Amino acid sequence: MKSFCLCKKYETLISLRLAGIAGKEIGSKDELISEIHRLIKDSTYGLIIISEDIFILAEEEIMEIKLKNKDNLIIRIPEPSGFKEKDYIIRYIRESIGIKL
């Protein structure tokens, strides 16, 4: 299975292309959602990587897609400057398992 990256910054796209991961720069929420649906329909893609800047645009919609879709793994990565939301991992665990850390 292949991986695909959706990001806002050109630097992220180039970095992942050097690792052999294809990708696309995204400029709007609608473009992001339509691209995710396109990738989910294509059975050759197993991993969808979304940069944090783009993920924040449509966080609720992406989380709904993640819950409904069992065939693809959708992950969030930081842009070159690092995570903007510093407690992202703790919040993600808390929401996933319902335990306050």
d(CA 8, CA 23): 10
Output the pTM of the full model: 0.77
Domain that holds residue 16: 2-97
What is the predicted pLDDT for the residue at 67?
A: 87
Give the total number of structural domains in the chain.
1
Q: Is the pLDDT assigned to residue 88 strictly greater than 60?
A: no
What 3-state class would DSSP assign to 91? helix
pLDDT by residue (tens digit) across 54-80?
A: 898 898 999 899 888 888 899 888 876
What is the predicted pLDDT for the residue at 9?
A: 87
What CATH number is associated with residue 16?
Answer: 3.40.50.10580
- For residue 95, what are the contacts with CB-CB under 8 A and spacing of at least 6? none
